[in-house]
Every structure is written in structure tokens, then in C-alpha cells.
Amino acid sequence: MNYRTIHTCESALGGFEFRVTSNGLRVNVQERSPQAQTFRTVITLSAAEWETEVATRDLDSPYGGRSPCRIRDMIDDHNDAI
């Protein structure tokens, strides 16, 4: 299955851009630094875990759901849990 972008942020955060791609089973949260030309995967989740994150962090809200701060917080929380 091919991956497709399922979530993007409206702006960058400190020059970093974020996107989320999925093949229907796995979800990759990716970031791109200001110097990079390509995105790199920083977290891999199951589709169910992603849906929980969307609901918990209100990522589909029209009021700030596309904020890069919410994705950065999710990345930080997952890195802290490791």
C-alpha cells in the first residue's frame, strides 16, 4: 500500500514543518527541518493510536487543529515515554 498525506499543519514552527502520512494500517508523523529537503519519520503509530491522538489532541478541530504546536507536543510526549 502506498502512503498518502492525511494531516498537514497550516504553518511551520521554528522553521520545522510537520505532516502525517498513512497507508491505512500504519501512520507516520514526519518533520522537516529548515535545512532539509525531505521529511523524516519521527513517530510510527497504528491507525487506532492515531485516531486516539486526533481525539485527545483535537487535531481535527477547525480552531487550531492544524497548529504545528499540537504535533510537536505529540512528538515530545512520545519521545518522553520512551
Task: Give per-10-residue mean pLDDT for the chain (82 aa).
Answer: 92 95 97 96 97 93 89 94 78
Give me the pLDDT at residue 25, please.
96
User: Domain span at residue 54?
Assistant: 4-81
**pTM of this structure:** 0.91
Longest dimension (CA), the chain: 33
d(Cα 59, Cα 51) in Å, to the nearest integer? Answer: 10
DSSP 25-44: SEEEEEEE-TT-SS-EEEEE
Give me the pLDDT at residue 14, please.
92
Q: What is the CATH number of the domain that holds 50?
A: 3.30.67
Q: State how many domains the chain has.
A: 1
Say if CB 39 and CB 31 are below 8 A apart. yes
In the block, cell 511551520 appears at: 12
d(Cα 79, Cα 75) in Å, to the nearest integer? Answer: 6
